[in-house]
């Protein structure tokens, strides 16, 4: 049972509604525009968030909270490639729901210290979570130990994190005329392809049994 105060409920409502509005109308709209579209007062928004930067930090923090919950609910115990792909698919959908925050971070990162601080902290947590997932995939016999070698993991992490965050920008720049369900299989397959050089035979067999890869002509290396 939720026991949020009236002020907490108002703050949560502003975060959720503004996220949807920024997704649909773009990150460039002002707080005054936002208030109009939200059918509320500017004062109600600025009572909780004195500027747009702090509102986007709150949206990003809400994303991190939802991501943590998703990981906790889906990553306990042994993993199969099928369950891992399904987790990645759910993360992809969550990122799409919070795409405005990713766009704002890319556009404003160099100038906003609040965002820099948030991203720095979030990346540290994300790296630890990815390392844990990789170790679980190794223990499940799906990935080779070599992925954790010095230097190798840093290259893999660079590829994986960049693909798994910057696809939103690619969608806006190059595929904005396409529906998300049209591009999602392509994007998700591209993200997951970074695992291919490190798969065991068991991991390879399971990967290509999944419908996302079943018709692929790629050759296991």
Instruction: State the pLDDT at residue 36.
Output: 97
State the CB neighbour count (10 A cutoff) for residue 168. 21
d(CA 122, CA 106): 15
The reported pTM is: 0.85
d(CA 137, CA 151): 19
3-state secondary structure 101-154: HHHHHHHHHHHCHHHHHHHHHHHHHHHHHHHHHHHHHHHCCCECHHHHCCCHHH
Instruction: State the pLDDT at residue 109.
Output: 56
Instruction: State the pLDDT at residue 221.
Output: 42
Instruction: State the pLDDT at residue 220.
Output: 44
Q: What residues in the chain have per-residue pLDDT under 50?
A: 1, 219-221
The model's pLDDT over 185-217, given as tens digits with 9 standing for 90+, comes to 999 999 999 999 999 999 999 999 999 998 765
Which residue, chain included where needed, has tokens 């759910």? 90
What's the burial of 92, exposed, middle or buried (CB within 10 Å: 0-12/13-18/19+)? middle
Which residue, chain included where needed, has tokens 């747009």? 52
In Å, what is the CA distance from 75 to each residue of 86, 88, 126, 137, 167? 11, 11, 14, 10, 23
């Amino acid at each position: 049972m939720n026991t949020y105060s009236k002020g907490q409920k108002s703050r949560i409502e502003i975060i959720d509604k503004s996220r949807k509005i920024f997704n649909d109308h773009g990150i460039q709209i002002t707080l005054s525009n936002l208030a109009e579209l939200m059918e509320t007062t500017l004062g109600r928004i600025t009572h909780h968030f004195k500027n747009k930067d702090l509102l986007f930090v709150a949206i990003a923090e809400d994303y991190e909270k939802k991501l943590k919950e998703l990981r906790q609910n889906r990553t306990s115990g042994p993993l199969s490639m099928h369950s891992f792909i399904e987790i990645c698919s759910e993360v992809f959908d969550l990122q799409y729901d919070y795409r405005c925050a990713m766009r704002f971070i890319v556009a404003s990162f160099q100038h906003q210290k609040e965002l820099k601080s948030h991203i720095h902290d979030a990346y540290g947590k994300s790296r630890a979570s990815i390392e844990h997932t990789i170790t679980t995939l190794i223990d499940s016999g799906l990935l080779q130990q070599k992925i954790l070698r010095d230097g190798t993991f840093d290259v893999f992490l660079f590829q994986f994190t960049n693909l798994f965050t910057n696809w939103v920008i690619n969608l806006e720049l190059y595929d904005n005329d396409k529906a998300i369900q049209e591009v999602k299989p392509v994007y998700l397959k591209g993200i997951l392809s970074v695992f291919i050089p490190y798969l065991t035979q068991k991991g390879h067999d399971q990967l290509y049994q999944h419908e996302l890869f079943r018709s692929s002509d790629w050759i296991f290396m």
